[in-house]
């Protein structure tokens, strides 16, 4: 799991699992050592959910309620782009990341 103190130091280490992705979502959504960035939070919660984290989808939905449609689209593209560069990260096809919230 990504240590919060380590994860807030830039550059952030690549997340190793769903828990690490979820931790990054928490960091960006709460501004723990970084500026609050809901697009990045949504991206990491989305990836965490796709990797099987039980709370990832719920937090992604909660974050989406505070975002514009354009911001959600940007977060979805960022998640797809990250997963394209990390094909081992998920068994779900990258093209399947079209979640509305």
88, 80, 27: which is closest to 10 by C-alpha? 27
| Number of domains making up the chain | 1
Residue 34 lies in a domain: yes
What's residue 94's pLDDT? 46
**Cβ count near 92 (within 10 Å):** 13
Give residue 70's domain range: 4-96
Residue 59 lies in a domain: yes
What's residue 67's pLDDT? 98
Residue 85 lies in a domain: yes
Residue 79 lies in a domain: yes
User: Per-residue pLDDT for the chain (101 aa), expressed as one digit of tens each?
Assistant: 454 444 444 445 688 899 999 999 999 999 999 999 999 999 999 999 999 999 999 999 999 999 999 999 999 999 999 999 887 765 554 444 455 44
Residue 101 lies in a domain: no
């Amino acid at each position: 799991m990504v240590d919060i103190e380590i994860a807030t130091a830039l550059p952030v280490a690549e997340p190793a699992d769903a828990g690490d992705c979820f931790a990054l979502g928490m960091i960006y959504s709460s501004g723990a050592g970084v500026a609050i960035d809901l697009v990045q939070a949504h991206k990491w919660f989305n990836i965490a959910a796709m990797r099987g984290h039980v709370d990832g989808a719920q937090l992604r939905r909660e974050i989406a309620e505070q975002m514009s449609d354009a911001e959600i689209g940007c977060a979805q593209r960022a998640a797809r782009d990250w997963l394209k560069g990390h094909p081992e990260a998920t068994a779900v096809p990258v093209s399947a990341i079209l979640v509305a919230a």
